Structure 1
Amino acid sequence: MGDEGSFVREIQQNLMRAGVSLPNYGADGIFGEETERAVMRFQRSYGLAVDGLVGPNTLEQLNQVLNGGSNLNDFPLPSGIFQQGDEGPEVKQIQRALRHVNFDPKGIDGIYGPNTEDAVRRFQSMYSALANDGIYGPNTRRYLNMELDS
């Protein structure tokens, strides 16, 4: 808290790229309350110690998220049916997986909104066996898992 400079700005930019919003100040290079809350949300999402500090574990997890690292294996794709209007950690994992296979849902916020639906539709359009309906279900899950494993 209180740190300033290019490293803080880089952390803020990376948090936003990882889907954590900084709506008031963005990447202003000042580690204030908004940045601390964003770090804590990120830490909570990935099962890290929630202390608001950007230490080695938080940095490593942030790098894994941004570089498509093995963190996807730690959060298997959810079963069930998800569609526009759904929210929660399962939706975040669907969004992470879509981003990992280059169908960017324009943010990892845990909200199955129009951008997530569009990313699912674009993914589904790659396979004739999938209904191109923007709804994540068992068939879409199976094909997404195949892409993640390849």
Structure 2
Amino acid sequence: MATTVAMPPYYGVVLQNGSSGPDVAMVQTWLNGVQSKYPQLPKFTVDGAYGSGTTAAVKTFQLLTGLTADGKTGRATWDELYAQYASIYGEGEVYCNIVSRAGDQGAVVKSMQQHLGYVRTLYTAIQSLSFDGIYGSGSTASLRQFQPQFGLTADGSYGKQSFGMLKSAVSSIEVGNPLRVTTRYPGYVLTVGSSGDSVRFVQSYLSALGGSIPKLTIDGQYGNATKNAVMQFQASKGLKIDGVVGSTTWSALIVAFNATL
């Protein structure tokens, strides 16, 4: 029986015939992964739909590992599946093999939220979010603010690339060597009255510099405080002091922020 805590930890909702979403896909991924140990298990497509095939495979796994063979995935089955998978491939969370989106919920979503919450302490353009396992507008926005800082498409959906990059960002912070941002210039000048995620990036990066550069409220609204901070930054770098962020100021700001990491 499993003694380790699964990654991601069990969410508290029993998965069964008719369930769907990334947690079901996680179960299917683990089941496929332990086939080398339990060849009696069928291999099937990971689609996030808990149908008769998944139910039968779970029941077979339960019989083979001494669990109650009801075909449902509660805590004991979730933890045992993870433990058996980890015994083959090693500890750690793996991609569930389907894209998670707004409207999903469960352990996979909660893990994403917790990882975003961890990295936002350093990459402060990411807005705060709840760790409730419910993929709503807040989670979508937070992920959308994470993605472009590391060269990903800012679509707010949690696919394989976002999973891998977020996992890498967490582990890099943990070992004291944070990932450098590669946030692209938005293609237009930011000035007083501008708003949105690009402004959040400017405010975040400026706030990390210290010295004569004041910390800003990271709200995505380009007001006079942001303009003044930009001017201070431009003066410190020998740039044209106009209080607007064009491509030259943007590039210099990326370099300056990365130097703080």
TM-score by length of 2: 0.37
In 2 relative to 1, CA 7–58 (structure 1 residues): closer, same or farther, beyond 3 Å? Answer: closer
- Mapped contact 2:190–2:199 kept (Cα < 8 A): yes
**SS of the residue aligned with 1:71?**
coil
Q: CA deviation at 1:117?
A: 2.0
- Mapped contact 1:5–1:30 kept (Cα < 8 A): yes
What CA distance in whole angstroms lies between the structure 2 residues aligned with 1:61 and 1:52? Answer: 15
What is the RMSD of the two structures over their aligned residues, measured on CA atoms? 4.6
* Greater helix share, structure number: 1
Give 5+ residue unaligned stretches, structure 1: none
2:145 to 42, 54, 67: 42
Q: CA deviation at 1:83?
A: 1.1
1:117 to 227, 251, 261: 227
In 2 relative to 1, CA 78–148 (structure 1 residues): closer, same or farther, beyond 3 Å? Answer: farther
Paired residues for 1:1-150 under 5 Å: 1-3=105-107, 8-9=113-114, 11-12=116-117, 14-15=119-120, 17-22=123-128, 26-27=129-130, 29-34=131-136, 36-42=139-145, 45=148, 46-47=152-153, 50-52=156-158, 55-61=163-169, 69-72=179-182, 75-77=183-185, 81-88=189-196, 90-95=198-203, 97-99=205-207, 101-102=209-210, 103=213, 104-107=215-218, 110-126=220-236, 130-131=240-241, 133-137=242-246, 140=249, 144=253, 147=256
- Mapped contact 2:125–2:201 kept (Cα < 8 A): no
In 2 relative to 1, CA 146–8 (structure 1 residues): closer, same or farther, beyond 3 Å? Answer: closer
Q: CA deviation at 1:120?
A: 0.8
Q: CA deviation at 1:50?
A: 4.5
What CA distance in whole angstroms lies between the structure 1 residues aligned with 2:251 and 2:110? Answer: 44
Q: CA deviation at 1:114?
A: 4.0
What CA distance in whole angstroms lies between the structure 2 residues aligned with 1:38 and 1:81? Answer: 22
What CA distance in whole angstroms lies between the structure 2 residues aligned with 1:10 and 1:149? Answer: 20
What CA distance in whole angstroms lies between the structure 1 residues aligned with 2:233 and 2:225? Answer: 12
Q: CA deviation at 1:130?
A: 4.1
Give 5+ residue unaligned stretches, structure 2: 1-104
**What percentage of aligned pairs have identical amino acids?**
18
Number of aligned residue pairs: 141
In 2 relative to 1, CA 113–52 (structure 1 residues): closer, same or farther, beyond 3 Å? Answer: farther
Give 1 or 2 for the bigger CA radius of gyration.
2
- Mapped contact 1:83–1:135 kept (Cα < 8 A): yes
In 2 relative to 1, CA 41–90 (structure 1 residues): closer, same or farther, beyond 3 Å? Answer: closer
Q: CA deviation at 1:76?
A: 4.2
Q: CA deviation at 1:32?
A: 1.8
What CA distance in whole angstroms lies between the structure 1 residues aligned with 2:170 and 2:225? Answer: 22
Q: CA deviation at 1:97?
A: 4.5
- Mapped contact 1:68–1:100 kept (Cα < 8 A): no
Please give the per-residue CA displacement for 1:19-45, whole angstroms capped at 9, x wherever unaligned: 2334xxx44x32223453235423554
Q: CA deviation at 1:85?
A: 0.8
What CA distance in whole angstroms lies between the structure 1 residues aligned with 2:207 and 2:178? Answer: 8
What CA distance in whole angstroms lies between the structure 2 residues aligned with 1:9 and 1:69? Answer: 18
What CA distance in whole angstroms lies between the structure 2 residues aligned with 1:40 and 1:61? Answer: 13
Bigger relative contact order (CA 8 A; separation at least 6): 1
- Mapped contact 1:83–1:112 kept (Cα < 8 A): yes
